[in-house]
Amino acid sequence: MVKYKSKWVTSMAASVLALSVVASPLAVVVGEDGKIKVTENQADAALLDIELLSDTKLTNDGGTTATHRFDLNQNGSQEVIFDIEGKALANASAVVSGKKTAVITVPEELAGHVQANGEASIDSSITLRINEVQGIQTVITTTNTLLDAVASIIDNKVVGHLVKINVKEVRDNLNLLENLSEFGQGQFKAPITVTPDGRIVKAELNGGLGPIIAQSINRVLTDLQAAVNAINVDITLVPDTPILGPLNPRTVVNGLIDTLFAPAKLAAKGAIEVAKGGLTVGGALVNQLADAAVLGDTRVKLPTKINGDVAYLKNNPSLDAQFAGSVVHGNVLDLDILSGADGKSTLYYKGDTTALQPTLTLDPVTGDSTTGYEVKGTTTPNTTVTIKDSTGKTVGTTTSGADGSFTIAVDGSVGQEVTLTVTAKNDYGEKQGTVTTPKDQAVAPSAPTDVATTGNSTDGYEVTGKTEPGATVNVYDKDNNKVGTGTADNNGNFTVTVPGTVGPEQDLTVKGENSAGEGDSTTTKTPKDQAVAPSAPTDVATTGNSTSGYTVTGKAEPGATVNIYDKDNNKVGTGTTHTDGTFTVQVPGSVGQEADLTVKAQNNAGEGNGTTTKTPKDQAVAPSAPTDVATTGNSTDGYEVKGKAEPGATVNVYDKDNNKVGTGTADNNGNFTVTVPGTVGGEQDLTVKAQNDAGEGDGATTKTPKDSDTTGPEAPTDLKVTGNPDDGYTVTGKTEPGAEVVITDANGTEVGTGTADGDGNFSIDVPGTVGPDKDLTVTPTDKDGNKGDSGHVKTPPAEATDTGEISINGIEEFNYVITGTAPKATKKVKLIVNGHSLVTADVAADGTFTFDRKYVYDKDGNKKVLGAGDVIRVEHFGAGGEKIVAAETVVTAANLEITVQDIQVDPRNFDMTTITGTAGPNVNRVLLNVNGHDLQVATVTAEGKYSFERKYVYDNAGNKKLFGAGDIVKISAYDSGKQHYFVETTVSEAEVAPIEILNVDADNGVITGTTDKSVTKVMLSLNGQNLSVYEVADGAFTINRKYFKVGNELRKLKAGDEITVRNYEKLKSGSATFIVK
């Protein structure tokens, strides 16, 4: 027993405790009795017992000598690296434990002018005094105790021969520690700091020293930990082993394990875990290791940057700057003591005052002889700057700022185009330069002031303000079109009329103009026609949870304030809509999950109607459908499906029969690539789903690409040629989508080319030089380069001579542009409306003409807006002077194309009802009327859509009621002059779509059922928790979900689980529930 213990302890101690990072004899040894011993040698004291190295030397790379000095000044600097080298002290045991610091003393003349220029680099051999590290001593003690316990069990006379202990595994694991007996040099970095008085540059070494020792110690402890964990006690009883009453072998072994082995093993494991925990960055054990380390041969490099002191350089032509350096105990930083260190190094400098002389840079002079001039420039900071005119008279002086810049005002009496002399002067010299005052010149007017706009879009607007007397005043709209002009009176006041067609709330720019041109502008805005409270917000949605808070998004009137109220009408959030009407408002998590919120928009007219939303229930959510999904490959080599999903999610790919044909994992950025076998085939539908702990989410569909073909397209069809020799021809037709189409003339020369669109249609221009009544050949080539059959077509024959006729294109109400065609030889045409001659227009080279006329006169001469029933007549004169009168046309009534979607309400649901529809391009706003009561105005979007949200309305008698079946809804145009256009519908009651769960396969996670064929999606819930939405095909659904997240458990369905499937279709309610048996 004793022999075994000594051998193990000697091996373990030699491996664990001989922790030196230098290739030299170890400072810690093990005696014959197996106990750890530390050699006791007295270290020689050096420099008052604070220096940690002997034979210290200090050098620098400045490259200066007494005969080769560096020009030092306050602006320039020299980069110098100081190098401290030293050897280990003769006897390390006398060295004080604690912080270790590399220091350099700075001569008084350069105090404050030496700065750190990077980090210190340290290269040192290190010996660890393990007896000073309490955490390691505890590991040694508890490990020895564990081995004593093992030996006691083996030496027991009753059971020793029956016990089996895995000693070999312990010995093999502990022998790994012997690999850490020797290491090379240790290199690390340390930050450099300078003391507040600028006299000491230092780098504390412990911060970098501790971690590199801790790294080696940690490897040793890890191997030791594995060895201790591997020790186990087994007992083997043969059939004829006698049972000796209280000396039952198993009872004895169990007693020894409980009283000796188990507590000792637990203590050893605990000591190792504590020691490993202390080896983390900043851990207490890391600091102990650094304090207990002894430096051997060491080299420290400290990069610095040095500049000169202006006061010293002014009075001293040279400086022999002597620095002292050493590595000392960190708590002793006395300047007088450190200056006596053996390591000395000198830098040789000479003063350079040339750089202290002032510089001078001058900007062009600004101003004029009326308002005066400004002279600007830069020179040396805090320098006197003087300006003299051509007679030598001083006309301005100042002192430059801290950045050297200066500005001097010079009286305009010096005159225009006069040379000025500028002198910058300080204690080290002066610098002169000249500038010339500019020639006076005309100046455009300043920006108009007191600008205001009144009026409306019906009667027009007036812009008033003040500018330079007699100046022309121009008013521009947001597109920089001039919409008004006028002249300022002798007092500078002006009034300019702007047409109402500019519209309300439109930006206008106002500029004054004189002989020097237009001046700076002032902006104004046309007033709003009238204030109307905003409509109820739309597209309202709430996301988030009760921990992180909630986000409410939606759309409302641009620029409106959005207020959010809880069920008790307390305001819990507010925000402002963007220019596109969208808004995002934060609501605190304290509102709680599944709580009702009301969202209202507010403008100058007050708050409008509210829209309700509900905070979501806190729950795990399956991943969203993958995005950017694309499939490449072919049926021979297989396919690759790529896209983006939730980072770390499993990505499953299913074929059209829901067979899983590929799987993969999204990387940290969510990107994934999944391989699918070629047997799936070309042009086959694939479904891609992401899966996390909450299960699979929605699927994204993709299709395998079509295998390339070798058959060319058929000859083009529907071939047609239009045009003439002067304007050229256009060839149209139909072929394979995406095919390249080439057109050749009768000689085979290519005269046009193009590409068929996604529907196979093409339109290709051909030059007029081809000529009339000429054969053309049209040949398609598909995307795979397969040339198809050709088609043939002729250019049209030459046109007959103009007949002299005129035509007017039809015109509809609210359209004020009148167009038509006249013979090409015609120069002008005249517009006559209701018998009144109004205006003439030029005829374009192609014979077209255009009139833009909003206001006309009725038959009685009253001014009016062009509208339905007005008679339009256009006259023109032919080339021979013969008068030709065009046929008249009448303005037709407009169809404003207002529609409303069928409205259905669910009598069991008391939420808001959405009313939607469309309107034509001539309608900007629509009015909602229910049962004869005007309720709300909505803006028509750029896409021609509108939306209302209503919960309550009024019956015919004016009594407030819930919006329901039988209510009559009228949507009418709300624009001025268009209110007589409307559409009506009657509200109906929503149908209930029946739904049934047919079968639940709990083992395989398959749920099947039926619902109404109009339903497209169903929602799956488990035990009241909503999970995911699944597709419905022709009234049938199949849900494949094998695993469910219940609390922290991911499991299959089990008895008692409540499954609910409900219709996930607007106005299609209905649900079914199934209890798993």
The radius of gyration of the chain from alpha carbons, rounded to an integer in Å, stands at 47
Contacts of 299 (CB under 8 A, 6+ apart): 83, 84, 85, 122, 123, 124
In angstroms, the CA 78 to CA 530 distance is 73
Q: Which two tokens stand for residue 856?
A: 């006309």
The DSSP element (H or E) to which 168 belongs, if any, is helix 167-175
Task: Give me the helix-helix angle, 206-229 and 262-277, nearest 10°.
Answer: 160
- CA-nearest of 656, 564, 561 to 606 is 561
In angstroms, the CA 510 to CA 465 distance is 9
pLDDT digits (tens, 9 = 90+) for 25-57: 222 233 333 332 323 222 223 344 567 778 889
In angstroms, the CA 983 to CA 903 distance is 13
CA atoms within 13 A on the CB side of 373: 29
Query: What's the farthest any 2 CA atoms get from each other in the chain?
Result: 145
What's this model's pTM, rounded to 2 decimal places? 0.35
In angstroms, the CA 867 to CA 342 distance is 107
Lowest mean pLDDT among 237-241, 301-305, 715-719, 1059-1063: 237-241
In angstroms, the CA 171 to CA 230 distance is 10
Q: Is the pLDDT of residue 821 over 50?
A: yes
Bridge partners of 1071?
A: 1062
- Strands 405-410 and 372-379 turn out to be antiparallel
Burial of 583 (0-12, 13-18, 19+ CB in 10 A): buried
pLDDT digits (tens, 9 = 90+) for 631-668: 999 988 999 999 999 899 999 999 999 999 999 999 99
Share of the chain above pLDDT 70, in %: 82
DSSP string for 657-684: T--EEEEEE--TTSEEEEEE-GGG-TT-
- CA-nearest of 285, 290, 359, 305 to 81 is 305
pLDDT at 280 (0 to 100): 80
Q: Is the pLDDT of residue 696 over 80?
A: yes
pLDDT digits (tens, 9 = 90+) for 321-331: 888 888 887 65
pLDDT at 472 (0 to 100): 95
pLDDT digits (tens, 9 = 90+) for 768-797: 778 888 999 999 998 888 888 999 999 987
pLDDT at 453 (0 to 100): 95
Q: Is the pLDDT of residue 351 over 70?
A: no
Lowest mean pLDDT among 478-492, 499-513, 904-918: 904-918
> In the chain, helix, strand, coil percent, each to 5?
15, 45, 40
Contacts of 98 (CB under 8 A, 6+ apart): 291, 329, 330, 331
Whether the Cβ atoms of residue 162 and residue 249 lie closer than 8 Å to each other: yes
In angstroms, the CA 468 to CA 491 distance is 8
Q: Is the pLDDT of residue 531 over 80?
A: no
Domains in the chain, please, with CATH? 2-349 (no CATH), 357-436 (2.60.40.10), 449-525 (2.60.40.10), 538-614 (2.60.40.10), 627-703 (2.60.40.10), 717-794 (2.60.40.10), 807-890 (2.60.40.10), 899-989 (2.60.40.10), 995-1075 (2.60.40)
Contacts of 172 (CB under 8 A, 6+ apart): none
Q: Is the pLDDT of residue 863 over 80?
A: yes
- CA-nearest of 7, 189, 196, 211 to 102 is 189
In angstroms, the CA 73 to CA 65 distance is 18
Q: Which two tokens stand for residue 143?
A: 């490990």
CA atoms within 13 A on the CB side of 963: 26
Please give the average per-residue pLDDT across 854-866, as a whole number: 88
Please give the average per-residue pLDDT across 370-385, as a whole number: 92
pLDDT at 256 (0 to 100): 66
Share of the chain above pLDDT 90, in %: 39
pLDDT at 39 (0 to 100): 30
Of 161-175, 342-356, 475-489, 1010-1024, the range with the highest mean pLDDT is 475-489
Q: Which two tokens stand for residue 51?
A: 């220096």
pLDDT digits (tens, 9 = 90+) for 387-415: 999 899 999 999 999 999 999 999 989 99
152-157 LR contacts (CB < 8 Å, sep 24+):
152/256, 152/260, 153/233, 153/253, 153/256, 153/257, 153/260, 153/261, 154/1, 154/4, 155/1, 156/252, 156/256
977-980 LR contacts (CB < 8 Å, sep 24+):
977/865, 978/814, 978/896, 978/922, 978/923, 979/927
Lowest mean pLDDT among 291-295, 495-499, 631-635, 891-895: 291-295
Task: Give me the helix-helix angle, 284-292 and 206-229, nearest 10°.
Answer: 110
In angstroms, the CA 526 to CA 453 distance is 6
pLDDT digits (tens, 9 = 90+) for 253-267: 666 666 677 787 888
pLDDT digits (tens, 9 = 90+) for 914-952: 999 998 888 889 899 999 998 888 999 999 899 999 988
Q: What is the mean pLDDT of the chain?
A: 82
